[in-house]
Structures are given as structure tokens and as C-alpha cells.
Amino acid sequence: MSEETEPKSGHDGPYPAPVVVSGLTVDPGWIDYNGHMNVGYYGVAFDQALEVMLDEHLGLGETYVRTAGHGPYILQSHLHFTRELLEGARYAIHYWLADTDAKRLHYYAEMFAEDDGALCATQEALIVNVSQATGRSAPFPDWALTRLARMAVEHENPDLAARLGAPLGIRRNS
């Protein structure tokens, strides 16, 4: 377990469901030759907003890495693209905690255009807590487990289950 016994950022709840990170803007450098945000930058956009959510709400972002010597590593991520974003477009990302255990958290996120509220992309990811000293997975500290358990309860949503684990493949009409 982490040596850190007290959180240095975040809060103990309640946690909004979903946690919304808004006021984000598509950077001009993210635009590709098709004139819209390049596929790779959707991952960057989700990651930058995730850092805000982890640090400001759960206390598991950059502050945690600097003070506890542990940090979140994404093990797996699935992105789905539903509508393009153009240069300068403002967007928001909504995060739900889908599941958690002693070392991991599973989240689902949706990216919305702020001008019309259209869904532009989704991300589902699995994060593991890693010790910076060993480079191996490690349990979250007790305070983080308490926060994660509370957020998991506050984010319970039967509709969310239908959005998780979407398969990849060509769908054919039979």
C-alpha cells in the first residue's frame, strides 16, 4: 500500500454523476488533412480531461504521483467516434466510474460538443495504480479506496451497463 496516509487533492464527495469536465477546446495542432480533429488527439483530449477528474475529485492525478509515488496507468482503452470536431470547437467530457477494486478502476466517458450537445466520442478504459518505485501494480491507499467506493455507489446507473464493452467488428444484416 502507498505510504501516503492523507490525500493531498480531490475531495471525499459527494461526486456528481457523471463528473463533467467542460470548457475544453480543440487545439489547432490537432487538426488533420481532413479538416477535423485527428483520431489520435481524441485520446489526448480524454486523457487531459481525465487528469482533471482524477486530481480534482478523487485525488489520484498528478498531485498523487508527486506526493505518494504512485500513479494511474491505463491498461486498456476503447474509443468510439460518432461525430467529428473541428478546430476551435468547445467540448465537455462526462466521466462515470463503472467499477473498482483494490488496484484498479474502470471508467466510461462521453465527449459532447458544447455548441449543440452532440455526442462526438466515447472512451472506456481500465486503469491500474502503479508504484513509481517498483513499476508494478500496487493497492490504492485506504483514503482512495474509500473515495472510489463512494463514487462507484454514486455512479451506479443501470443504463451505463448497456454502454460498456461494445464489441469491435463489422455488423452485417442477416
pLDDT tens track for 45-76: 999 999 999 999 999 999 999 999 999 999 99
The tens digit of pLDDT for each residue in 120-165 reads 999 999 999 999 999 999 999 999 999 999 999 999 998 998 899 9
Q: Which three cell numbers stand for residue 32?
A: 488533420
The tens digit of pLDDT for each residue in 81-131 reads 999 999 999 999 999 999 999 999 999 999 999 999 999 999 999 999 999
4: pLDDT strictly greater than 70: no
In this structure, what are the phi and psi dihedrals at residue 89, rounded to the nearest 5 degrees? -65, 140
Which of the four CATH numbers 3.40.50.720, 3.10.129.10, 3.40.50.2000, 1.10.760.10 does domain 19-157 have? Answer: 3.10.129.10
How far apart are the C-alpha atoms of 57 and 37, rounded to whole Å?
Answer: 28
Question: How many other C-beta atoms lie within 10 A of the C-beta of residue 45?
Answer: 24
How far apart are the C-alpha atoms of 133 and 7, rounded to whole Å?
Answer: 19
How far apart are the C-alpha atoms of 168 and 76, rounded to whole Å?
Answer: 14
pTM: 0.93
∠ CA 43-47-51, rounded to 5°? 175
